[in-house]
Amino acid sequence: MSESFDVIVIGAGPGGYVCAIRAAQLGMKVACVEKRATLGGTCLNIGCIPSKALLQSSENYEEAAHHFAEHGIGVGQLTLDLARMQARKGEVVGANVKGVEFLFKKNKVTWLKGAGKITAPGKVEVEGTTYETKNIIIATGSDSAPLKGVEVDETQIVTSTGALELETVPGHLVVIGGGVIGLELSSVWRRLGAEVTVIEFLDRLVPGMDGEIARQFERVLSKQGIKFKLKSKVTGATKGKDGVTLTVEPAAGGTAEEIKADVVLLAIGRRPYVEGLGLDAVGVALDERGRVKVDGHFATNVPGIYAIGDVIAGPMLAHKAEEEGVAVAEILAGQHGHVNYAAIPGVVYTWPEVASVGETEETLKEAGTAYKVGKFPFTANGRARAMGTTDGFVKILADKETDRVLGAHILGPDAGTLIAELVMAIEFGASAEDVARICHAHPSLNEAVKEAALAVDGRALHI
């Protein structure tokens, strides 16, 4: 008879592996199913971690090529060893996935190697063996969304997976999609010497981002050399020996044009990955977008089956999945696991970075909420000036009556780190005045956050 468990988690990405570890910490007997040869899911293997490794390496190259001289540093003849850069990325990935494997051993989580299929409530089949469990948690993540007429081969027309593995810098990279993934990978290859054109269906970048931030972000990226074709749609792609020819039309309809590219990156979004799980057979309900339907406690309509992360509604973010993984593990242990979706940060790891949390001006206007705005530019921040990274600003939105922080948006250096203070402010219901009255170290980038909070009340000190 095969082994039985208290919990079987299907998928070892950030949501799945964190859920498995937390459940084990709470005294449950836990297994995690993963068909990859390594743990960590898309994020650690072919997503967040390798992309950040290349972003850092390309950023260093950009600094050496264009900015070291400003600091009195001469580097002589600059060379690019892309093979070494890619190898370093692989080393970073390897260290991270080995770390997860170590954590499984430390917490006595059993790794069931292979693809998992739910054959009945409480039964999961892996590589021909059926395991019994009290609870099943679906954490299978997401996959790149396809586009009709654009056939991916991961060589000439690539998803983010192929874009992270290019062996040469493309002469012209065309990116379909002006979202987070498209812009981050645009930055990598533009810095390393590619001409980059981003084609976006909407009239702006990164849907859902605060409009003012998005407009300024586009200006900054344009200044860096990335070209944008907004309000445009790709209707076809023809591959040839000398590259790819894209057919592009105005989003509203009109005369088509052709754009030639050496490599095309398809980055129009992601879709939940539920193939092969056997959800139809056991009756797990999906919504109109193919996501697993869950209630406020992550339970599906089938008793004993739960789902978290990219396969359910909400932003497709690794840290959102992690929080849900912890919450559902604690719920199964009889605790009160909960995720505050109003306090989930989002970050674009270009340079400068963009980070946000909570409401935008657009969502507040739509809801009819009266609010105040405080802004402070990095040009007036001493540390940013010393670093030579003065593009961007901090923007805080607070309730007009109560002064409670409702949203925060940062375009600037290390925005992904700076946003944490404002995530905490929202989590604990702090006011803009609360943030403004906290002593911030000088000289630090964080002072821009304090000043933006002061600006909500019209009393910024350094501008």
Q: What's the token pair of residue 225?
A: 């050399």
Question: CA 358 to CA 398: how far, in whole Å?
Answer: 11
Enumerate residues 6+ apart whose C-beta is below 8 A from 127.
113, 114, 115
The alpha helices in 250-341, defined as continuous H runs, are 279-282, 318-332
Q: Are 190 and 196 in contact (CB under 8 A)?
A: yes
Phi, psi at residue 113, to the nearest 5°? -85, 125
The angle at the Cα of 170, spanning 164 to 176, to the nearest 5 degrees, equals 70
Catalytic residue chosen out of the listed positions 66, 67, 442, 462: 442
Supply the DSSP symbol for 192. Answer: T
Enumerate residues 6+ apart whose C-beta is below 8 A from 51.
160, 164, 181, 184, 185, 188, 349
Enumerate residues 6+ apart whose C-beta is below 8 A from 100.
12, 17, 39, 40, 44
Give the relative orientation of helices 211-223 and 180-191 as an angle to the nearest 10 degrees.
20
Q: Is 336 considered catalytic here?
A: no
Chain-centroid distance, C-alpha 340: 18
Question: CA 338 to CA 316: how far, in whole Å?
Answer: 18
Catalytic residues: 442
